Amino acid sequence: MSSPAGNRTALPPLSGLPLEELTTALIPLPAYRARQIFKWISRGIADFTEMKNLPRSLREELAGRFTVYSSAVSAELPDPDGTVKLQIRLADGAKIEAVLLADGRERKTACLSTQAGCPAQCVFCKTGQLGFKRNLSSSEIVEQFLFLRRIESAISNIVVMGMGEPLLNLAELRRAVSVLTCREGLGLSPRRITVSTCGIAGGIRDLADNGPRVRLAVSLTAAEENLRGRLMPISVSNPLPALKDSLRYYQEKGGGRVTLEAALFAGINTHAGAASAMAAFAHGLDAAINLIPWNPVAGLEFEGVPLREPAAKEVQEFSRLLEKDGLTVTRRYRKGRSISGACGQLGSIQ
C-alpha cells in the first residue's frame, strides 16, 4: 500500500485535529474552508491537490504549511478468516499495528492502538513485552482508522484494544474520538466505540467526568489481588478495591454497562476460586463478562512456565461457574491468529 506521508514529516499533520482546532489552525481562512478540508480528510483524501473545491492557490499554500497524514502503512497482512493487520510506520520510525476484524455477522470493526509499545507489561501480552516507546498523537490514532477504511469502507465499530493502554493517553484519544465522531465528517456513534483498559482507576474516573461517552471494557483477567498483580503488574498501583470504586463511579455518572474481560490461561486463572472471586468483583456492578481463551504467543511465560491456552472444557467449566452466580458471560471469537492479529499478539512483526 502506498504511503501518503512521504518524507514531509516536519510539517504538522491535519488528520487528527478536531474541527474546532482545525478551524483555529487555519485562521485567517473562513470557518467554511476548515469544514471543507475536514470533510475531505474524513473521506480519506490524503493530498491537498485532490481537494477540488479549494482554489489551486489555497491548495498550494496548504501543502507548504501542513501535511494531511503523519504516518504510512508499511505492511498489510490478511488472514484467511477476513482479519487484516496493518503495520504502520510513524514519522519517527516507530511501528504500530491496527487490525480490521470481521465477525460472523459481517460487522466490521477497527482495532486501534494508542501507544507505541505499552508500559503496563502484562505478562501474557506481546505488546507489553516490547516496553514503552511513546504515546500516539491524535493524528496517529485517526490515521489507523482511515488506513483500515481503505480496505473496508463499511467499518461500523471501533475497539481501542490494540497496542498500548488507552487511559494512559486519554488526552490524545479524546481528540481522536472527537474527530471520528464529528457529524461534519465520519460521524461514528460514540456508543460504537469501545475503549479497553487494563484497569487504570484514575483514567476511568476521568472518563466518567469528562467523557467521551464511549463503551468501556476492563481487562480484569483475575479478581484475586495477588494473582492479578503477578499477571498484570500495573494492577499493583490500581488495586481491585480502587478499580471497583472507579467503575461504580463511572456507572453512577451514567457510563452504562461495562464489559469485564478475562484472558484465560490453562491452569492459572480458571480454578473455581478464580471464578468466585470474579463473580464477587462483578457483584454490584452492571457488568458482563467476556472470556478470551488466550491466543498463544511463543516465548511468553508466567513465573518461568510457558503460558498455555486453556482446553475447551476448562473454559466451559469456568463459564458455567460464573453463570451459576448469575453473570452474563460471552466468549470472544478467535480471529486473526495466523497473522498474530488477535488480542495480546500485536507487536509480533516489530
Give Cβ neighbours of residue 13 (< 8 Å, ≥ 6 apart): 66, 67, 68, 69, 70, 137, 139, 143
CB 289 within 8 A of CB 322: yes
Beta strands 258-264; 193-197: pairing state: unpaired
Beta strands 305-306; 301-302: pairing state: antiparallel
Query: 302-341: which residues touch ligand SF4 (CB under 6 A)?
Result: none
Sole binder of ligand SF4 in the list 13, 128, 310, 336 (CB under 6 A): 128
Q: Could you give the CA distance from residue 75 to residue 97 in angstroms, rounded to a whole number?
A: 9
Closest approach of ligand SF4 to the CB of residue 299, in Å: 15
Q: Does 122 bind ligand SF4 (CB under 6 A)?
A: yes
Closest approach of ligand SF4 to the CB of residue 28, in Å: 43
Question: What sign does the dihedral 194-124-206-16 (CA atoms) show?
Answer: negative
Closest approach of ligand SF4 to the CB of residue 219, in Å: 6
Of all residues in this chain, which one has the CB nearest to ligand SF4 in the complex?
Answer: 128
- The piece of 86-94, 157-165, 304-312, 333-341 that touches ligand SF4 (CB under 6 A) is 157-165
Q: Could you give the CA distance from residue 99 to residue 45 in angstroms, rounded to a whole number?
A: 21
Closest approach of ligand SF4 to the CB of residue 165, in Å: 4
Considering the complex, state which of residue 77 and residue 198 has its C-beta at the smaller distance from ligand SF4: 198
Q: Does 118 bind ligand SF4 (CB under 6 A)?
A: yes
- The piece of 11-19, 65-73, 133-141, 160-168 that touches ligand SF4 (CB under 6 A) is 160-168
Considering the complex, state which of residue 96 and residue 102 has its C-beta at the smaller distance from ligand SF4: 96
- The piece of 102-110, 115-123, 238-246, 253-261 that touches ligand SF4 (CB under 6 A) is 115-123
Catalytic residues: 97, 343
| Residue carrying the nine cell digits 460464573 | 322
Task: Label each residue of 209-248 as H, E or C.
Answer: HHCCCCEEEEECCCCCHHHHHHHCHHHHHCCHHHHHHHHH
Sole binder of ligand SF4 in the list 9, 74, 121, 350 (CB under 6 A): 121
* Cell (9 digits) for 183: 457529524
Sole binder of ligand SF4 in the list 68, 73, 111, 198 (CB under 6 A): 198
CB atoms near residue 154 (< 10 Å) = 8
- The burial class, CB within 10 Å (0-12 / 13-18 / 19+), for 195 is buried
String marking each residue 253-292 x if it binds ligand SF4 according to CB under 6 A:
----------------------------------------
Considering the complex, state which of residue 122 and residue 179 has its C-beta at the smaller distance from ligand SF4: 122
How many Å is the maximal CA-CA distance in the chain?
69
Task: Label each residue of 66-124 as H, E or C.
Answer: CECCCCEEEEEEECCCCCEEEEEECCCCCEEEEEEEECCCCCEEEECCCEEECCCCCCC
Closest approach of ligand SF4 to the CB of residue 111, in Å: 11
* Partners of residue 76 on adjacent β-strands: 86
Considering the complex, state which of residue 36 and residue 114 has its C-beta at the smaller distance from ligand SF4: 114
- The burial class, CB within 10 Å (0-12 / 13-18 / 19+), for 317 is middle
Considering the complex, state which of residue 5 and residue 118 has its C-beta at the smaller distance from ligand SF4: 118
- The piece of 39-47, 91-99, 101-109, 161-169 that touches ligand SF4 (CB under 6 A) is 161-169
- The piece of 14-22, 125-133, 172-180, 278-286 that touches ligand SF4 (CB under 6 A) is 125-133
Q: Does 127 bind ligand SF4 (CB under 6 A)?
A: yes
Binding interface with ligand SF4 (CB under 6 A): 118, 120-122, 125, 127-128, 163-165, 198, 219, 344
